[in-house]
Chain A
Amino acid sequence: MHYLSINKEEWDKALEQIQLSFTIFAAVENDFGIDYEELNSSNISRIAYNRAKPATPLKTFFLPVKENVTSGQVRNRQRVIMGVPGCDVEGLKLLDEIYLDRDYIDIYYQQHRENTVIISFDCFERQEHCHCTSYGINPWSESADLSVIRVEDMILLRVATEKGNGFANHFSVTREMIDDKTLAVIDEAHKTALSKLSEAVKGLPGFETTGMLLQKAGDEIWARYSSRCVSCGACTTICPTCSCFLLIDKPGFEKIRQMDACQYPGFQRVAGGEDSLFELPRRFRNRYMCKYIWKPGKFSSVACTGCGRCIEACIGKINKNELFMELAK
């Protein structure tokens, strides 16, 4: 891993050129907050450097809502996702474990992954429900291909992979950055971000503790918290690690992979009628058991990154962290 630096003005000019030959999605500021937009000369100035996470989870780029997985064509053109928060980079690791499982590789997911350069922004801003640090995740990433930090008029690039290096090479005016002073500034910014986050989530149990608490949770608390759930599936749709899907048949023995959610009634119903998740509290509980106990029992990547999107998205104003804090009391 090494750092490169480039003057902000030169960076913007280079981006103007690069976006002509690459498809770049970047986290930009819009009227509603921050989200990904395809980069063009008019929105380069709105790139939201080192701000909090975009509204859309990263998974959407690799697992589209619907995809023909028998005859669909994946474009071979390389694409770049810029402005990915550290939490989403971590979330992608679980999807990689599932979809790139050596026994059964999903070649569509694999091609999307191979064709994509992931550029993260170190995150120096905390949104209301962010709690990545509670689950051992830093608000910056050292496993994204490339990371971008804006320090005043400088753009600093942390290069972590060959792919990231390849993309950085398109910026002809970068310099190796070995300036201790700038590194100290980055270090300080990380520390500030960490302490801001830890301060805000005081009392929230860690990942493993949450799992243990959930196992002991009685029926009453599930019934109470799920009473405001309308099974809309917003929490699973917006979750960077929820990746369940349905296969839909089309003539010619074609299959469409369509994102699905365990929060929808009938998710586990079998033809005979049995449905172990028929009751709402059971279904509601399932999502947390899956994230904090079952997936960790099977995979090595975390199944909740603490991004807080499920809390923001819930129209019933259900806050999982309130539930966990109550269990921890």
Chain B
Amino acid sequence: MNGMMNIYKPVRAKLTEVIEESPLIKTFVLIPETEFSFGTGQFIELSVDGIGEAPFTPSSSPHVTDKLEVTVMKTGYVTEYMHNLKPGAFMGIRGPYGRGYPVENFFGKEVIILGGGCGLAPIRSLLYALEHVKDKLDRVVLCYGSKTPADCVYKPLFNRLNSTEKFEAYRTVDKGDDDWDGPVGVATTLLNKVKVKPGNSVAVVCGPPIMMKFGTMKFLEMGYKDEEIYLSMEKNMSCGLGKCGHCMMGKYFVCKDGPVFTYDEIKDTPDIWK
């Protein structure tokens, strides 16, 4: 249409590899047909041709621009189709959309990241971005909880982080198994062991709504200010363009004004934890 940019038209991306992370979670490695880059914490609309589209935050580094990785949990209609795709298939990508993590605001500070379940996908991208600028950061701590040891994705990530200067990573599970000898309990309990430097620290929370809520409460209790807590909100972002209305959260379109908000920005908005 007159060469004008069509905001609804996806670009095609070739699926080159499918990595099985856990029984329900796969990572798709995609090579878009046109140049594509994103900021960490921004999301894309990923589609299966003729079936449907859903929002995901890429789990790969924003500094790798020739391919991107998207980690998908099988949880509904579209994601089930995604899980059946084989390398060689083409998927559709729109975006990137929204406001991601303002990494430059973290310079000189320590970053405490609380993650749960599939929330580790966007966090992994953030960790890559933080590694890229680690000289400018004080330290980075990851506290991550999964339901069971098997549900934990990117297991090698933890060892790698723990052997990286300025990075620490801790894991917990809600329920252990025979091989598990680490902590048992919800993700927020890991924060009890972390000595933070309030005033020179920011908190990042990403995970299921219930964890977002209790994680935020915990950080407030630890002395964090509302504007020092960064939340990655999950709503039904359908168009990604601030139009379709599905992700409205109070006066915000989560897709365009978020998905990353400080607690300060949304604390007066109703139903944020729902």
Residues of chain A touching chain B, judged by Cβ–Cβ distance below 8 Å, are 69-70, 74, 98-99, 101, 103-107, 111, 243-247, 249-253, 255, 257, 260, 262, 267-272, 274-276, 282, 289-290, 293-295, 297-298
Residue interface mask B5-23, A partner, CB < 8 A = 1: 1111110100000000000
Q: Are A104 and B50 in contact (CB-based, < 8 A)?
A: no
Main secondary structure of the interface of B (DSSP, over half): loop
Q: Are B47 and A249 in contact (CB-based, < 8 A)?
A: yes
Knowing A247-B8, A251-B49, A293-B251, the reply to whether A103 touches B242 (Cβ < 8 A) is: yes
Chain B residues with CB below 8 A from A297, complex form: 250-251
Chain B residues with CB below 8 A from A290, complex form: 245, 248
A-contacting residues, B235-258, CB 8 Å? 235-236, 238-239, 241-248, 250-253, 256
What is the distance, in angstroms, from A148's C-beta to the closest C-beta of chain B? 32
Q: Are A104 and B52 in contact (CB-based, < 8 A)?
A: no
Known: A98-B243, A105-B4, A268-B236. 11 other contacts (CB 8 A): A74-B1, A105-B5, A244-B244, A244-B245, A246-B244, A247-B8, A249-B48, A249-B52, A262-B245, A267-B236, A294-B248
Name A255's contact: one of B2, B8, B209 (CB within 8 Å): B8
Q: Can you name 11 A-B residue pairings with CB atoms under 8 Å?
A: A104-B7, A105-B4, A105-B7, A106-B241, A111-B1, A247-B244, A249-B51, A249-B53, A272-B234, A274-B274, A298-B251
Chain A residues with CB below 8 A from B1, complex form: 74, 107, 111
Chain B residues with CB below 8 A from A289, complex form: 270
Knowing A271-B75, A271-B79, the reply to whether A251 touches B4 (Cβ < 8 A) is: no
Q: How far is the CA of A250 from the CA of B49 in the complex (A)?
A: 7
A70 to B, closest residue via Cβ: B9
Q: How far is the CA of A194 from the CA of B211 in the complex (A)?
A: 54
What is the distance, in angstroms, from B122's C-beta to the closest C-beta of chain A? 15
Name A294's contact: one of B52, B75, B251 (CB within 8 Å): B251
B117 to A, closest residue via Cβ: A272
Nearest first, the 4 A-B pairs at minimum CB distance are: A244-B245, A297-B251, A271-B76, A276-B274
Q: Specify which of B7, B208, B271 lies most central, judged by the most chain A CB atoms within 10 Å of its CB.
A: B7
Knowing A243-B245, A294-B250, the reply to whether A272 touches B7 (Cβ < 8 A) is: no
Q: How far is the CA of A275 from the CA of B47 in the complex (A)?
A: 22
Residue interface mask B22-52, A partner, CB < 8 A = 1: 0000000000000000000000000111111
Chain A residues with CB below 8 A from B49, complex form: 249, 251-253
Q: Are B47 and A253 in contact (CB-based, < 8 A)?
A: yes
Q: Are B50 and A252 in contact (CB-based, < 8 A)?
A: yes
Knowing A107-B5, A255-B9, A271-B78, the reply to whether A246 touches B274 (Cβ < 8 A) is: no
Chain A residues with CB below 8 A from B274, complex form: 274-276
Q: How far is the CA of A294 from the CA of B47 in the complex (A)?
A: 30
B92 to A, closest residue via Cβ: A253
Name B246's contact: one of A101, A268, A274 (CB within 8 Å): A268
Chain A residues with CB below 8 A from B79, complex form: 271
B54 at the interface (CB under 8 A from A): yes
Q: How far is the CA of A251 from the CA of B5 in the complex (A)?
A: 20
In the complex, number of A-B residue pairs with CB atoms less than 8 Å apart:
118
A296 to B, closest residue via Cβ: B251
Chain A residues with CB below 8 A from B53, complex form: 247, 249
Measured as residues with beta carbon below 8 angstroms from the partner, the interface class of chain B is 35 or more
Q: Specify which of A98, A249, A253 lies most central, judged by the most chain B CB atoms within 10 Å of its CB.
A: A253
Q: How far is the CA of A254 from the CA of B251 in the complex (A)?
A: 30
Q: Are B246 and A244 in contact (CB-based, < 8 A)?
A: yes
Residue interface mask B69-85, A partner, CB < 8 A = 1: 00000011011000000
Chain B residues with CB below 8 A from A98, complex form: 242-243
What is the distance, in angstroms, from B234's C-beta to the closest C-beta of chain A? 6
A261 to B, closest residue via Cβ: B245
Knowing A70-B9, A103-B256, A268-B236, the reply to whether A250 touches B245 (Cβ < 8 A) is: no
Q: How far is the CA of A298 from the CA of B252 in the complex (A)?
A: 8
Q: How far is the CA of A100 from the CA of B244 in the complex (A)?
A: 13
Chain B residues with CB below 8 A from A267, complex form: 236, 246
What is the distance, in angstroms, from B75's C-beta to the closest C-beta of chain A? 5
Q: Are A269 and B8 in contact (CB-based, < 8 A)?
A: no
B244 to A, closest residue via Cβ: A245
Q: How far is the CA of A275 from the CA of B76 in the complex (A)?
A: 14
What is the distance, in angstroms, from A164's C-beta to the closest C-beta of chain B? 25
What is the distance, in angstroms, from B3's C-beta to the closest C-beta of chain A? 10
Q: How far is the CA of A19 from the CA of B247 in the complex (A)?
A: 43
Chain A residues with CB below 8 A from B2, complex form: 107
Q: How far is the CA of A270 from the CA of B20 in the complex (A)?
A: 23
Chain B residues with CB below 8 A from A249, complex form: 47-53
What is the distance, in angstroms, from B181's C-beta to the closest C-beta of chain A? 30
A99 to B, closest residue via Cβ: B243
Q: Are A245 and B245 in contact (CB-based, < 8 A)?
A: yes
Q: How far is the CA of A271 from the CA of B78 in the complex (A)?
A: 9
B2 to A, closest residue via Cβ: A107
Knowing A271-B78, A294-B251, the reply to whether A260 touches B47 (Cβ < 8 A) is: no
Name A245's contact: one of B10, B239, B270 (CB within 8 Å): B239
What is the distance, in angstroms, from A278's C-beta to the closest C-beta of chain B? 9
Q: Are A270 and B234 in contact (CB-based, < 8 A)?
A: yes
Chain A residues with CB below 8 A from B51, complex form: 249
Chain A residues with CB below 8 A from B4, complex form: 105, 107
What is the distance, in angstroms, from A240's C-beta to the closest C-beta of chain B? 15
